Amino acid sequence: MNEDTNPGNQAAIAGLYAALAKAQGEFHAVAKNRSVQIRMKEGGTYKFEYADLEQLISCTRPALAKPRLAVVQVIADNQLRTRLLHADGGSVSSLMKLPVMGQDPKAFGAAISYMRRYSYSALLCLAADDDLDEDGQGTGDVETKKPAPRPTAGPTPTKDDPLGERNEQELASQGEINWAKAKIGKLDADAGLALLAKHGIQGLDKGVSKAAFLALKADLLKA
């Protein structure tokens, strides 16, 4: 989080923090009103529950308005800036770079919604989705718990490349990328983004290693 400060507005920043503390004490409990089934590489699924952006806003806006606070989100230069503003002039902001999603407007819109939700909840310190401990057990009331995270698949060995080192350096072809985009486009937005994050892929148009593509492909074939 980056503070918007200058030598003359320290009092305004202090006033903003005081107002935020007051508002946080009046936030309504955030109920998780959405869920998505995530397929695991080793088989099976788990249900990930979260609160959507509309739910977050409805649970916080009335309390923010009382001490004259407001949240503004602006997209520019492929970045999302979320700002918490106080009527006396203080503000704090967070800046998040949006993933590269190519020319698919649906995928781009899903990425924006995803990032807006996480940025909003982080700025206001909200628990808006299932939290997992180191054993993979959720702390919320969910029907199915997420298994412990597994290491990303390593290099894929072949007959000519026993250690799989070539796949680590080689990039996936455009045809393979197009195939992955088509498959991900058929998934729920959060499920698709979760799969990309699982394999360390920031965006399908930024150069994906062959190894990462093969690991992603294995999951997509099960989806």
pLDDT digits (tens, 9 = 90+) for 103-130: 677 777 888 888 899 899 999 989 877 6
Q: For residues 72 and 150, what is the distance between their CA atoms, to the nearest angstrom?
A: 37
Cα(41)–Cα(127) distance, integer angstroms = 27
Over residues 87-94, mean pLDDT: 91
Confidence label for 24 from pLDDT (cuts 50, 70 and 90): very high
As a whole number, mean pLDDT of residues 207-215 equals 81
Please compute the mean of the pLDDT values over residues 159-177 and round it to a whole number.
Answer: 63
Q: Rounded distance, CA 120 to CA 50, Å?
A: 13
Claim: this prediction has a pTM higher than 0.75? no
Calculate what percentage of the chain has a pLDDT beyond 70. 73
